[in-house]
Amino acid sequence: MKRMIVPAAIAAVLATTSLALADQATGTVKSFDSGAMTLILQDGTTYYLPKNFKNPGLKSGEQVRITWAMQNGRHVASDVSIQ
């Protein structure tokens, strides 16, 4: 029984940690570049999108909510939704 509890506890801590590192932002799209996989908000923040990102219809002036994490000094988005 103890052998099962320790790995389960470690898995729970790791899952919680990765969620805690994610942040959310909202803003207005300034530009979206599907070639460079970048999204720039009106405030000037650039978000890098994953290669498998499916564009929900992003265009300039659109209000969005972005779930992101800082990786290697860059804002890397994991989810973008139109508000």
Q: Which of 15, 29, 16, 63 has its CA nearest to residue 49?
A: 29
Beta strands in 1-83 (DSSP E): 23-33, 38-41, 46-48, 63-71, 74-82
Predicted TM-score of the model (pTM): 0.73
Domains with residue ranges and CATH for the chain: 24-82 (2.40.50.320)
Q: How far, CA to CA in Å, does 75 sit from each of 13, 14, 54?
A: 24, 21, 18
Task: Write the pLDDT tens digit of every residue in 33-70.
Answer: 999 999 999 999 999 999 899 998 999 999 999 999 99
* For residue 20, pLDDT beyond 60: no
